[in-house]
Structure 1
Amino acid sequence: MARYTGPKNRICRIFGEPILGSGKSLGKNSNPPGQHGGTRKRKAPSEYAVQLKEKQKAKYTYGLLEKQFANTYVEAARLKGATGENLIKLLESRLDNTVYRLGISPTRPAARQLVSHKHIMVNGEVVNIPSYFLKPGDVIELKPKSKVNETVVSFIRGKNPRINWVEWNEKDMKGTYLSHPERDAVPENIKEQLIVELYSK
């Protein structure tokens, strides 16, 4: 299973945001990684560097590798509408991200693991592909055996009430992907227009 396995706190320090892990290190040392830390003189980043950093932030946030992200962008560009908004909608409609949004797992990496280990069903069928794109109306739930697995159930927290494009039934441990989210509703601090500009070069 291809995924980022490097130091998470380093990534948090690069972007100055807890996009991976808890971001505990940001309180102690918020300087970017590298020799001399905050005392190092840094040049103002170029336009390309700013665009690249934004793309990297989106990649790490949603847990994609370079080729996966590029393919998702190509699909977003093919769809009607603003490419940047389409990109966010596609990233949010991934199965692993939706499992995270429903509160079935505390983090996206944990959600990815649940999907890969065949704990998740979509419309009554087991799906073990984290990048599976959901459509409005799709029903996501734990497999019957997983619903009685104490370890799996202990991680369920329920969805954030601000996430209004998914619905979670706590009693049945079942959720529904209601619709693709509007950009304003997605809380991630990503400037998708910079990503579009990067790929448009």
Structure 2
Amino acid sequence: MAVNKVPVLKRCRSLDLEPGFLGYDKKSRRTLNRRSRKMSEYGQQLREKQKAKFIYGVLEKPFRNYYEKADRMKGMTGENLMIMLESRLDNVVFRMGFARTRREARQVVGHKHVLVNGKCINIPSYLIKAGDVVEVREKSKSMQRFKDIAEITAARLTPEWVDVDKEAMKGTVSALPRREQIDVPVDEMMIVELYSK
């Protein structure tokens, strides 16, 4: 399994991305002393794709597969792509506040701490549907790790497309998110333009 080991703050600086979108509350004090050259259209499109891949922790081949699946679906390809990325199990676990960051959410899912509709699912890329119930396994709730996570994420706002009971560490996906409900700073139209060349 491929693992992205790039330092998060360094990657955020290179993509002009706030670490807050990834769940990190650190700030980098370094600045990039790049020469201010105008970026080409291709460069801008590539940067948007890299941003989306980095935020959701998806590698190139699965990302391409998401794009092709989104292209076959009804509606706008870019919006479909963002909705699919947002409805990945690791992202839903992060949005519900059962993990501090998306990377941690991926680990929590991989270590079999999460149940979907009562079944243990350890595939971070599992796509959640409207009406699915996501919860932390009963045995795992008493672990110190989840007590710490609950404390840290208590103040975090949950999106309106999920209903979460933070005490019981259980949540329901009331509906799939619409594009305007996804607060990720990615211009998906540029990704569509890049792939449709």
TM value normalised by structure 1: 0.90
**5+ long unaligned stretches in structure 2:** none
Corresponding letter in the other structure for 1:196:
V
Asked whether 1:59 is paired with 2:53, we answer yes
Q: Per-residue deviation at 1:158? A: 4.3
Is the 2:113–2:137 contact (alpha carbons within 8 Å) kept by the matching residues of 1? yes
Q: Which has the higher contact order (CA 8 A, sep 6+)?
A: 2
Report the alpha carbon displacement of residue 172 of structure 1 after superposing the two structures with TM.
Answer: 2.2
Give the secondary structure class of the aligned counterpart of 2:39.
coil
RMSD of aligned alpha carbons: 1.6
* 1:34 aligned residue: none
Please point out which of 168, 171, 177 is paired with 2:164. 168
After superposition, where does 1:8-19 map in structure 2 within 5 Å? 8-19=8-19
**8 Å CA contact 2:164, 2:172 repeated in 1:** yes
Provide Cα deviations, 1:13-69, integer angstroms capped at 9, x if missing partner: 1122224544511xx2232xxxxx24xx34311111110010000000000111111
How many residues end up aligned between the 2 structures?
Answer: 192
Structure 1 distance, partners of 2:70, 2:47, is 20
Q: Is the 8 A contact 1:118 1:126 kept in 2?
A: yes
- Paired with 1:159 and 1:67, the residues of 2 have a C-alpha distance of 35
Q: Is the 8 A contact 1:112 1:130 kept in 2?
A: yes
1: distance between equivalents of 2:98 and 2:186? 24
For residues 154 and 161 of structure 1, what CA distance do their matches in structure 2 show?
Answer: 17
1:38-57, aligned counterparts within 5 Å? Answer: 38=34, 41-57=35-51
Aligned with residue 95 of structure 2, among 97, 101, 109 = 101
What are the equivalent positions in structure 2 for 1:145-184 lying under 5 Å apart?
A: 145-156=139-150, 157-158=153-154, 160-161=156-157, 163-184=159-180
130-139 or 158-167, which deviates more: 158-167
How far does residue 83 in structure 1 lie from its aligned partner after superposition?
A: 0.5
Contact 1:3–1:63 (CA under 8 A) maintained in structure 2 = no
**1:195 — aligned with what?**
191
CA contact (8 A) 1:103 1:159 kept: no
Equivalent in the alignment of 2:31:
30
Quick one: which amino acid aligns to residue 24 of structure 1?
Answer: K
Could you say which residue in structure 2 is the equivalent of 1:5? 5
* Counterparts of 1:77 and 1:184, CA distance in 2: 19
Structure-2 separation of matches of 1:98 and 1:44: 37
Following superposition, the deviation at residue 170 of structure 1 comes to 2.2
Aligned-pair identity (%): 45
Distance of 2:18 and 2:88 partners within structure 1: 21
TM-score (norm: length of structure 2): 0.92
